[in-house]
Amino acid sequence: MPTWNAEQYLRFAEERTQPCRDLLHRVLLDNPRRLIDLGCGPGNSTHVLAQRWPWAAITGLDSSTDMIAVARRNYPQLEFIVGDITAWKTDRPYDLVFSNAALQWLPEHAELLGRLLRQVAPGGALAVQLPANNQPPAQRLIRRMAAAPEWKARFNGNIRDWHVHELPFYYDALCAHAARIDLWAVEYQHVLPGPEAIVEWYKGTGLRPFLDALALPADRERFLADYLQAIAGAYPRRPDGRLLFPFRRLFIIAYA
């Protein structure tokens, strides 16, 4: 797995938390008692769950000890544990199994989401948000740069990549096991001060596997500088000097 830095991730806390709120707004559960947030990161999504259902027993799980340490510090009233989503299972089903922007790092989504739905109690729900921003310039430029002759030799070909499909795939994967499914997609338009902000955004997520693969600090700095130059040409500034950064996300709710 890539290494994660909670401080870097939280530089865009509001933008990263809004999709979590939008997903939770569509979850139609009246009185859930046990909730788990898989891939909870620094706890911002877990806190949103607690705000909606303050009486519920809520647990946040993440594989990053750094993220969990920040979550425990920021939200001491909630339970956070270090764990791997791929190995996670429970003997006592949850009313809500929730995951905001985490499952894209894991493969085999048909099997994965089916297994997670089986951890949901009857009448409960599996709710998932997935970044689906593979095609816009910010993502394509990272991969194009890494494949270029001046960089290709520095990467060993084992870069951890996103795994995401389109909504019909998730419907087909879950329809035989769910009582009801709700799916939708949103392209958020983030207003950012300049191309440097896009680089900072991806330093907290999509750039992490590539930066981790570069052994020398000088190589990491040069890769970031080259990426900034490429980003500046791909996202023109608006008349007020800022730029629009579109970011597409998928939302899936499967009721048990």
Give the per-residue pLDDT at 209: 85
> 218: which strand partners?
none
User: Burial level of 249, CB count in 10 A (0-12/13-18/19+)?
Assistant: buried
Identify the DSSP state of 179.
Answer: S
Mean residue pLDDT of the chain comes to 91
What does the pLDDT look like over 183-226, one tens digit per residue?
999 999 999 999 999 999 888 788 888 888 888 999 999 999 99
Architecture of the domain delimited by 6-255 = 3-Layer(aba) Sandwich (3.40)
Residue 255 has pLDDT above 70, yes or no: yes
Residue by residue, DSSP assigns 20-88 as HHHHHHT---S---EEEEET-TTTHHHHHHHHH-TTSEEEEEES-HHHHHHHHHH-TTSEEEE--GGG-
**Domains in the chain: boundaries:** 6-255
CB 66 within 8 A of CB 7: no
Instruction: Give the residue-averaged pLDDT of 156-178.
Output: 88
Instruction: Give the residue-averaged pLDDT of 240-255.
Output: 96
Nearest to residue 33, comparing CAs of 102, 137, 121? Answer: 121
Give the per-residue pLDDT at 91: 93
Give the per-residue pLDDT at 134: 75
What does the pLDDT look like over 51-97, one tens digit per residue?
999 999 999 999 999 999 999 999 999 999 999 999 999 999 999 99
Provide, rounded to the nearest whole percent, the portion of the chain with pLDDT above 90: 73
